[in-house]
């Protein structure tokens, strides 16, 4: 069993929809939780990070962490075609948020 | 500020050969991490270097090695290539210091095909 599980999708939604992306994990030592976005033929780029249970909002993106359930989510409001990409959750046990353990990624397609 | 650069971008090798990939971090960054991305296993951490020393290591065989130079540039080497080593190899740099401000910035990757 992988330490981090993520639904691979693909997920197809109409423009303007609310998107929910989820990951579960088994290692309770994970302290930092991140979401990366990866466009085709590009390296991942960091969208959000958090280290505590609860919600963190940044524009149209909200990251949610539930450490008791070992479950994290990323919500995208008012999704745009430019949001079409693969979304990767990542976690770290180190205080420096390095040596990341990634989920397998969810491919999102936002239809105009 | 220039981003993380990786060379070469594409590479074709045959089984048994060895390969060296290069990564130049963002100016001022002292930490360089390497990841392997495959369709089957996803993104997996290989190792991290900070100030020319390996600081963290993932679960990969000894055929995978790396080093970092005094200017923070890093190379990774894979010896005795296997077909399963075909992957996108990503380099990420960060300041290397712990704390809220640390973020890993990824390069575009080197796509390696082993025939």
In whole angstroms, what is the distance from residue A21 CA to residue A62 CA?
10
* In contact, A23 and A103? CB cutoff 8 Å: yes
Strands A71-76 and A19-25: antiparallel
Q: Answer whether B25 touches A (CB < 8 Å).
A: no
In whole angstroms, what is the distance from residue A26 CA to residue A88 CA?
17
* Closest partner CB to A98 (pick from B33, B42, B108): B33
User: Can you spell out the DSSP letters for B64-112?
Assistant: EEEEE-TTS-EEEEE-S--GGG-EEEEEEEE----STT---EE---EEE
Nearest CA in chain B to A34: B103
Nearest CA in chain A to B39: A104
pLDDT value of position B99 = 63
Under an 8 A CB cutoff, do A96 and B98 touch?
Answer: yes
In whole angstroms, what is the distance from residue B7 CA to residue B87 CA?
15
In whole angstroms, what is the distance from residue B114 CA to residue B24 CA?
24
CA distance A3 to chain B (A): 12
List pLDDT tens digits, range B24-79: 999 999 999 999 999 888 999 999 999 999 988 999 999 999 999 999 999 999 99
Average pLDDT, chain B: 92
Under an 8 A CB cutoff, do A99 and B58 touch?
Answer: yes
pLDDT value of position B101 = 47
Q: Is the pLDDT score of A95 beyond 70? A: no
Residue A65: pLDDT band with limits 50, 70, 90: very high
Interface test with B, best of A43, A51, A93, A100 (most B CBs within 10 A): A43
pLDDT value of position B102 = 74
Under an 8 A CB cutoff, do B108 and A42 touch?
Answer: yes
In whole angstroms, what is the distance from residue B18 CA to residue B14 CA?
9
Average pLDDT, chain A: 92
In whole angstroms, what is the distance from residue A57 CA to residue A16 CA?
18
* Closest partner CB to A99 (pick from B56, B102, B107): B56
In 3D, which of B23, B43, B44 has the Cα closest to residue B107? Answer: B23
């Amino acid at each position: 069993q992988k330490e981090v599980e993520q639904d691979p999708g693909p997920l197809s939604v109409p423009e303007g929809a609310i998107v929910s992306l989820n990951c579960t994990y088994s290692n309770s030592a994970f302290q930092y939780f991140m979401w990366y976005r990866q466009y085709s033929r590009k390296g991942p780029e960091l969208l959000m990070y958090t280290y505590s249970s609860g919600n963190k909002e940044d524009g149209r993106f909200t990251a949610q962490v539930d450490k008791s359930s070992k479950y994290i989510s990323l919500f995208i409001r008012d999704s745009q075609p430019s949001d079409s990409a693969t979304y990767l959750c990542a976690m770290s046990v180190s205080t420096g948020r390095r040596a990341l353990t990634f989920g397998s990624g969810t491919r999102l397609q936002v239809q105009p | 500020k220039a981003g993380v650069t990786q060379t070469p971008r594409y590479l074709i090798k045959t089984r048994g050969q060895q390969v060296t990939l290069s990564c130049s971090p963002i100016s001022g960054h002292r930490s360089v991490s390497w990841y392997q991305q495959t369709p089957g296993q996803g993104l997996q951490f290989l190792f991290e270097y900070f100030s020319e020393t390996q600081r963290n290591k993932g679960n990969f065989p000894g055929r995978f090695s790396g080093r970092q130079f005094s200017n923070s540039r890093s190379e990774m080497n894979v010896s005795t290539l296997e077909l399963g080593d075909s992957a996108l190899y990503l380099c990420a740099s960060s300041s290397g210091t712990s704390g809220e401000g640390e973020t890993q910035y990824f390069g575009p990757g080197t796509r390696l095909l082993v025939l």
